[in-house]
Structure 1
Amino acid sequence: MSTGSDSFTEKTDDALRFLASHPSFYHSDIVRAAQQELRRRGLRLPEIAEGATSAPLLEYAPEPERSTLSRGLLLGGGLVAALLLGVWALQSTGADAEDVSVSTQRPTSLPASVVEQPATNDDMMPSFEALAQERVREASATVPATEWRDSIARNNYQQMVARYWTAEYQTAWLLTRTSQRPTPDLTLLGKINLVQDQWRRLTHAAAYDLKLKPVMQQRLEAMLLGHKRRNAVLGLLTYSFHGRDSLITREIQQGDTAAYAVRYQVLASPLPKQLPLLPLRAIPEVVRSQTVPTRYPNTNPLYLLHNRVFASDPLSNALPHPVTELSDAEIDSVLILRPRVAMQAYGPRAHDGAVLIFTHPPRP
């Protein structure tokens, strides 16, 4: 199992101690990674919480040979055990949840301002096909006429120009929209993937012998430099979306400016004295939404619903089962707490934030 060791370096000491001292809550790999990070920081490992079982060590030994009879007995016993477990699971209710008396109350330590999440995420990313084709028509002015007469090189170069500008415009649009929104776009990761697919169309084609002429090849190398810088920015944006305090950070701002400058190399135009600067954007500590947010890899937020707290399953990115059974019509509102605020309200167990789900009262 991948534990995302980089994410453990960002966790607080209290969060790491909680993970290390509650092995019954988390997968053994997660507990072990937390223990390793505590040792790296020179901190003493906490004692195992009362009632918790220690994380088993991974040991591998050759399996002894079994006779045909013993294998049959084991198989039959396994089937019986599976049936008994199935019956027990159907009869048990809420065994993975812990009763809490404050879960349906809004924490008293929340900041005064709670940012409202838009009810819909209808920011459709434009294709920018018309603008890209306009750049293709302008490309002939930046290439010598002797090179432009080669039909094979010209056609290949025009395709690369169209792919570059489509990906470039979409990346710039995504960063601008992200910096303008009051809250993170719930579909941001999907849009990042779409933009990265556009850039891959450029880089995959560039791997072939396109028979480009010298100036065309020089422009293509500038496009690939633009891809390199944009790809780094998109990676930083993904990382910020997973848990940083700011969505548009100083690094993203600088990377965007550097990528924007590459445009002028592709256009064979002089660099202006001043380039546009992407505004910084912090992530609000508390967001009110109408939908339950998607879980992200290596995060284990708490979910609070119906006076009960449900821990995330570290083995998957799935939401807790009671949460998945809710329909949109049942949800009144959702409060999404960033880790710092969540830990103030619910302790170290909320080291990856908390999601408070409030449902409509049942109708008589």
Structure 2
Amino acid sequence: MSEPLITAAEFGPLPDGQTAQLFTLTNGRGLEARISNYGGTLTHLLAPDRHGQPGDVVLGFDTLAGYLSEAYQQAGPYFGALIGRFGNRIARGRFELDGETYQLATNNGPNHLHGGRRGFDKVLWQAEVLVEPTPALRLTYISPDGEEGYPGTLTVSVVYALTPDNGLRISYAATTDRATVLNLTNHAYFNLSADAQPDVLGHELQLHAERYTVVDDTLIPTGELRPVAGTPFDFTRPQAIGARIAQVPGGYDHNWVLAGGENFRLVATAYEPTSGRTLEVRTDQPGVQCYTGNFLDGSLTSKNGLPYGQHAGFCLETQHFPDSPNQPGFPSTVLRPGELFSSATEYRFGVKS
């Protein structure tokens, strides 16, 4: 075992002349995370397999140029990025708040997705290294009133920390000077085989959720919370991701209604048989968007020089439900002056022999 550590290095120049940084966090127990202040992006996450060999279990690139390339901008997978102001979709990019109607960009067919054309994934965050109680990275961004059409000046703080039991904990906090809507998450894509398997269809997944939000053909919720029992959305017991994916047109890109309210609790587990790696997800959020990399088409190249094809990774984006500002029956995503938004999600890694 070694001592926990955090180091910083230049990651590359941005088009506006600023320089992005890359921070490397190690917990001394085999877990290593690399995070850029460009987009708050988790670029690498190394976790040991059943033989103790580390492997990178998230999709991404070794250089900043990969995230700035035209191919990446066109594909828009949001590899490892912080997502805001509003993660997931808002129908027609429109919502009403306190009697006013706000129009956002429609950057995903007819709908608004992941904060708009220049969401939190494309901005340079202010970085601060923390050393107590364990090495961590705090990223801060002030989103001005009207940015991407959202009301209010929003101050956001996100802390990435590695825990002694091989967890990556992401803690979010935000305040506003005017009523707004907010749904923060991280868009990491996991492949627990560390790229040894070209897709994640053989991963076993369990979700502590007995309902999911039914969506229309543009992936906007209808408002129905349907039981998963008897459907291909039933992961209440461990199931291979690929076992029933063919029954879901396009693949999984849906929100599951998590059991346990908004307590910080275990909500999902995953297991990759060839490496033995396991993943446990804990959160205080009411939902998780499970996305199976349906739109990856081989146009982007992995760190190992291999194409990222369809289903190369899966996401477990802990969050509030899609289109919540337009769905009065869903948990509220409204943040008002004087309130503090606070949330945490932890991705913990282990092994099975």
TM-score normalized with structure 1 length:
0.22
Report the structure, 1 or 2, having the larger strand content.
Answer: 2
Bigger Rg, structure 1 or 2: 1
TM-score normalized with structure 2 length:
0.22
Report the structure, 1 or 2, having the larger helix content.
Answer: 1
